[in-house]
Amino acid sequence: MKRVVITGLGAVTPIGIGKENFWNSLIQGKSGVGLITRFDTTEFDTKIGAEVKDFNPSDYIDKKEAKRMDRFTQYAVVGSKLAIEDGNIDLDKLDLDKVGVVIGVGIGGMETMETEYEKLRDRGPSRVSPLFIPMMISNMAPGQISMTFGFKGPTMTVTTACASSTHAIGEAFRMIKSGNVDMVVAGGADASITPISVAGFCSMKALSTRNDNPTKASRPFDKERDGFVMGEGAGILILEELDHALSRGANIYGEIVGYGSTSDAFHITQPDPEARGATRAMELALEEAVASYEDVDYINAHGTSTYFNDKLETLAIKNVFKDHTKNINISSTKSMTGHLLGAAGGIEAIATLMAIKEGIIPPTINYDNPDEECDLNYTPNIAVKRDIKYAISNSLGFGGHNGTVLFKKYID
């Protein structure tokens, strides 16, 4: 089996565009949450979100092409461009038939859906854009990436709610490990801060209503957490077969060595109360890597700031790591970025790899009130230095989807 390394990182996030801006904000504990600016929230219980700031797609891609893409696709293409540039990849020297694209998308083109429905309702069917379907469908993110850069390998979308981009990274890992491709552009994108999406999550009572203090609203594992904060953006990674990466002198951020994917088979939104699916996903990732639970130094938790997720992810970590749990640093970077839905695992994989590369663990900000049901070391409020050999990134999605990827410090 082939070894698989990560050689490029592209981030489009509420706390910065580009790997460096994103990472610097994380270790500084900067929140990207504020009042929603995209639409009038007067009648909404939740008025806050983590929007991508200062994003102009024409700074990165052709203006005409950008207009033919929903916002989530723009984020995906720009994140890929940043990852390719970060990886110092010369497209002319690649076998483009052996480069794949796997992108996780949780919801897809909701902004386009709402805009075109308003046209249908107010002006009739003839006013609906012929680009409506190609802009809205989830597979257009990897489709546009492949067309923009000429990648002709396997190109697909993974949609498993909030686990989408972690599953995309895991499936890309398997493609390269089996020898089918040399390189995969993988990760996730979502842009669902729209009226109907926010209204839907509000109706579920899933979102924080801490409107008077937005930067304090996302508070994973804290006893006073009251729901997640919706974010948006993209996290894109370049996964590459080791020898291929070495042959072109690539910078290697880390190695991906394990992947676990399971289902709770329990409930449409709530996790299994015994956390069996999340437990097994982490165990499977460790088994594939032939690594001991005692090898893991850091976990980038799913950590949504909702009651059940944080409580039960804590239980799953205890199930897997037993007495070693006390030696592990855990953090939820959603405390700063909000929850990017299908893109969450992509930016969290980037955070995990940067933590390994830089030897710094980003904090869980807003952790002020310990919860007796969430009693682990969540790296509260301040980043800490630590040498990391193995690190896990978890994602847990509606429908009971669980995904875990295990990264390792690269040693030649």
Q: 199 phi and psi, to 5 degrees?
A: -60, -40
Q: What are the residue ranges of helices labelled H in 132-228?
A: 132-136, 140-149, 164-177, 195-203
Q: What's the token pair of residue 303? A: 């950590």
Residue with token string 């009648």: 43
The answer to whether residue 162 is catalytic is: yes
Q: What's the token pair of residue 157? A: 């979308």
> Helix, strand or coil for residue 182?
coil
Burial class (CB in 10 A: 0-12, 13-18, 19+), 130: exposed
Q: What's the token pair of residue 388? A: 């990391």
C-alpha to C-alpha distances, 370 to 65, 80, 373, 390, nearest whole angstrom: 49, 39, 9, 27
C-alpha to C-alpha distances, 139 to 7, 83, 90, 188, 292, nearest whole angstrom: 24, 19, 25, 11, 37
Catalytic option among 113, 145, 162, 237: 162
Kindly give, in sequence order, each residue whose CB lies less than 8 Å from that of residue 114, ignoring residues fewer than 6 positions away: 194, 195, 196
First-residue to last-residue Cα distance in the chain: 16
Catalytic residue ranges: 162
